[in-house]
Amino acid sequence: MTAFKSDFLRVLSERGFIHQISDPAGLDEACAKGPITAYIGFDATAPSLHAGSLIQIMMLHWMQETGHRPIALMGGGTTMIGDPSFKDEARKLLTVEDIDRNLEGIKRVFSKFLDFDGGRALMINNADWLRHLNYVEFLRDVGRHFSVNKMLSYDSVKLRLDREQSLSFLEFNYMILQGYDFVELHRRTGCILQMGGSDQWGNIVNGIDLGHKMERAQFYALTSPLLTTSSGGKMGKTASGAIWLEPDMLSPYDYWQYWRNTEDADVGRFFKLYTKLPMDEIARLAALGGAEINEAKKILATEVTALVHGRTAADQAAETARKTFEEGALAATLPTVEIPTAELSAGLGVLAAFVRAGLAASNGEARRAVQGGAVKVNDVPVADERLTLTAADLVDGVIKLSQGKKKHVLLKPVNLGPIPDGGDWE
RNA sequence: GGGGGAAUGUCCCGAGCGGCAAAGGGGGCGGACUGUAAAUCCGCUGGCUAAGCCUUCGUAGGUUCGAGUCCUACUUCCCCCA
């Protein structure tokens, strides 16, 4: 990598955020000359962003930190289409209501990373212009600049074509709308750079071309590498898969645990990407070898959790983990599931209890866990699946359920909760 | 418009002479070993009031003692011809 003149690119570069830049020298020049405006788009496919978007959020953060103006673009319009890039099949269409509700959850996280005061950072929703487009007008103004031949050549749609899966016309339009977003943002804010994950390269480059043609303006693209550890690739599929950033979808404790379990080889990389710690300190921490690297992982987990959930919650998660793992003590701050007292005094089967606690999806799954020797109640291994829990099992008012060595939940009886509707999931 | 193919365990890929809860792999989870790591080895990976019962192979019918497997229609997708 060449040495960049601008602070912005230098920071991104040394921290490992850069995968590709369309015109590195040109962009560097522009960044060195004065503040620029850049944006990253976020889809509203779920009620929360997950760890995969953290890289993007951090890029916006560093951008502001180095004196530029970031835009978080909410995909209220584009999510109505669904980005087909590198997807092997079409996604289910979301309703407008779902999208708007999802946006509410997504917006929340940005205020923790960006300072929106006085327009130093912007949050814009592309629904503002996309939902009211006039079709024929749009085709004549924008559509004529796109070549289908070229669009078909992008890697992002190749997967779909190669697998002989249908790529609907609806989805095919996604990159056109994304390109148009770029132009629209340029008009509104003078934005000249779009960033994103490396899977967005094709879409972004399309926007650059459109900018040339419609605005006679020089746009730039910058992409980040794709997160590729175990769960990174295919997040968000199964119930336990995604690492959500919203505390009501994933507790700060579980979030902390996720980072605590980082592979040795990823520690340095994650410190650079996901924390604000200075580079020399990161170098020191990442250099720790053998068992000592565990100390670095704890710091990593606490730092990353602090950014998303606040310092207090992060320290608490660290403390809970310390008690649970290092002292073997019962920490009252472990994730807790409440059940009506009556249910316990009537006698609650272990299997049902584990299902109740969300540690198993069905009695059968809980049974298998017992047979596999994975289940503990109050740290005592359970061998008999017909074991019944009663008030006698309470320790300090709770029962500790463990599945495997890492997953622990406290079961807490409470008197007359609001409404026991029995559907109290996640 | 005509012709030929495809859809399998709801995480994915993928085998399946009419007796199938359905091979195999990936992924995931658990166990052993460790450092709450990686690698390796082992087990599990439809539901239930479980030696039994129930629900699964695109959808709806049909043939059959019995259908993922055969027939018909439909849906969606792919390919070729016009």
Neighbour count for residue A4 (Cβ, 10 Å): 22
Q: What is the pLDDT of residues A84-101, one digit of tens each?
A: 777 666 666 677 888 898
Of all nucleotides in the shown strands, which has a C1' nearest the CA of A233?
A: B27
Query: Quick check: A307 and A336 in contact, CB under 8 A?
Result: no
Cβ-count burial of A153 within 10 angstroms (0-12 exposed, 13-18 middle, 19+ buried)? exposed
A373 CA, B28 C1': Å apart: 18
- Tell me the pairing of strands A375-377 and A399-403: antiparallel
Q: Alpha helices of A111-134 — where are they, by DSSP H? A: 127-130
Residues within a 7 A CB radius of strand B? A 88, 164-168, 230-231, 234, 237-238, 240, 257, 260-264, 290-291, 293-294, 297, 321-322, 324-325, 361-365, 367-369, 372-374, 403-407
- pLDDT score, position A97: 86
Of all nucleotides in the shown strands, which has a C1' nearest the CA of A360?
A: B29
Of all nucleotides in the shown strands, which has a C1' nearest the CA of A291?
A: B35
Query: Which residues is A400 bridged to in the sheet?
Result: A410
A159 CA, B70 C1': Å apart: 35
A354 CA, B50 C1': Å apart: 19
Q: A1: Cβ–Cβ under 8 A, 6 or more apart, which residues?
A: A13, A18
Token code pair at residue A152: 């078909």
3-state DSSP of A152-170: HCCHHHHHHHHCCCCCCHH
Distance CA A45, CA A100 (A): 10
- pLDDT score, position A152: 76
Q: What is the pLDDT of residues A190-219, one digit of tens each?
A: 999 999 988 888 899 999 999 999 999 999
Of all nucleotides in the shown strands, which has a C1' nearest the CA of A165?
A: B77
Question: Measuring CA to CA, how many Å separate A108 from each of A112, A253, A313?
Answer: 8, 19, 17
- pLDDT score, position A304: 95
- pLDDT score, position A426: 33
Distance CA A102, CA A47 (A): 4
If you measure CA to C1', which residue is closest to nucleotide B46? A364
- pLDDT score, position A182: 96
pTM of the model: 0.86
Q: A372: Cβ–Cβ under 8 A, 6 or more apart, which residues?
A: none
Question: Measuring CA to CA, how many Å separate A382 from each of A109, A334, A415?
Answer: 41, 20, 27
Q: Where on strand B do bases come within 7 A of a protein Cβ?
A: 11-13, 27-32, 34-38, 43-50, 76-79
Among A195, A174, A206, A194, which residue's Cα sits nearest to residue A45? A174
Strands (E) located in A268-406: 336-340, 348-349, 375-377, 380-381, 388-389, 399-403
Of all nucleotides in the shown strands, which has a C1' nearest the CA of A385?
A: B50
Distance CA A264, CA A82 (A): 36
Q: Which residues of chain A have pLDDT under 50?
A: 1, 229-240, 417-426
